[in-house]
Amino acid sequence: MASLKKIRVGNIFIGGGERIAVQSMLNTKTADVKASVMQICRLKELGCDIVRAAVPDLEAAEAIREIKRLVDVPFVADIHFDYRLALAAIEAGADKIRINPGNMPKDKVALIAAKCKEREIPIRVGVNGGSLSRELHKKYGGVTAEAMVESAFENIKILNDCDFDDICISLKASSVPINVAAYRLMAKRSPYPLHLGVTEAGTERQGIIKSAVGIGSLLLDGIGDTLRVSLTAEPEKEVPAAYGILSAAGIHKGIEIVSCPTCGRTRIDLISIAKEVEERLTGIDKPLKVAVMGCAVNGPGEARDADIGIAGGDGDALLFKKGEIVRKVKEDEIISALLSEIEKM
Ligand code: SF4
């Protein structure tokens, strides 16, 4: 159920069956060009397709010009209330802007829409459960999926009335069930690309769990064109988490680590080995299944089924590649042996 409409953000297309794009948001001061560019480069290295940054003042809007000169990652300017910041961000070269048209005067939204049209850049309508209008709150008795979808259509109408249709939508709530229900409803009723996310999802641990359930269930329904895993953590944590969710949903074919939970049969320090292998392979974008298994019960089977893997013994392990035993390695050589074989692949 990918969206019918397609939009372009810089050199990336979103919607209409295109690859699902991964986004993150800078936590630097946007006006600090050096810090912002460095963070964008780190995010790009991890596979981030699009970055968003807060534009709270004119200094931040102006900084976009220099940031865009230094990096080629599509840049989304996040703006609230002040239409002048939106116009300045567009002038400075933003590839997309995120606004809530409902919290700006209509004639000012018309100015923004005209400028976006002239520059051929889209607008994301970002509905957030925390900022629903008082009327919708009252009508639906609080934050509900229906209230959020109605809010999205109110915002869409404002833009459509300005003869603007280059739109993508997000409907974020901090409650996962409401979040999922809102996106499902929207996907049935609208042709616009959907930006998935669970807002204020929490710290790294809780945020990844909530996002995996919220975003993951939508992806399994075939809903979603781009996504961000929002974490109360460094943005650099968000991108691998997004790819982890895409990979678990069977959409992104990246590194997949299959590791056993360990038990009384484990005779090597499998937990540390699996953690280190995962860390060392973070950011590598190759479709590889890597098995890190504790013993001979399920180990050889999983390791054989993987592209590469180990099955632990007593202070050593068997190294498998494409279903064949390569050799036996000592425990302290497991990680280096595994990584050097992966490098050759
Ligand atoms: S693979 Fe072996 S060590 Fe790992 S959980 Fe299964 S039985 Fe235990």
pLDDT tens string 326-341: 999 999 999 999 999 9
Percentage with pLDDT > 70 across the chain: 99
Domain 255-344 in CATH: superfamily? Sulfite Reductase Hemoprotein, domain 1 (3.30.413.10)
Asked whether 168 lines ligand 1 (CB < 6 A), one says: no
pLDDT digits (tens, 9 = 90+) for 80-131: 889 999 999 999 999 999 998 878 898 999 999 999 999 999 999 999 888 7
Which H helix or E strand runs over 227?
strand 226-228
What does the pLDDT read at residue 301?
A: 77
Round to whole Å and give the CA distance between 21 and 225: 7
Q: Please determine, for residue 54, whether its predicted confidence score (pLDDT) is greater than 90.
A: yes
What does the pLDDT read at residue 183?
A: 97
Q: CB within 8 A of 110, min separation 6: which ones? A: 162
Asked whether 260 lines ligand 1 (CB < 6 A), one says: yes
pTM: 0.88
What does the pLDDT read at residue 1?
A: 58
pLDDT digits (tens, 9 = 90+) for 233-242: 999 999 999 9
Q: Please determine, for residue 66, whether its predicted confidence score (pLDDT) is greater than 90.
A: yes
Distance 254 CA to ligand 1 centre (A): 25
pLDDT digits (tens, 9 = 90+) for 13-45: 999 999 999 999 999 999 999 999 999 999 999
Extents of the domains making up the chain: 6-248, 255-344
Closest CA to 225 of 8, 6, 14, 7: 14
Domain 6-248: state its class. Answer: alpha beta
The closest-lying atom of ligand 1 relative to the alpha carbon of residue 261 is: 5
Round to whole Å and give the CA distance between 308 and 325: 10
What does the pLDDT read at residue 129?
A: 86
What does the pLDDT read at residue 300?
A: 72
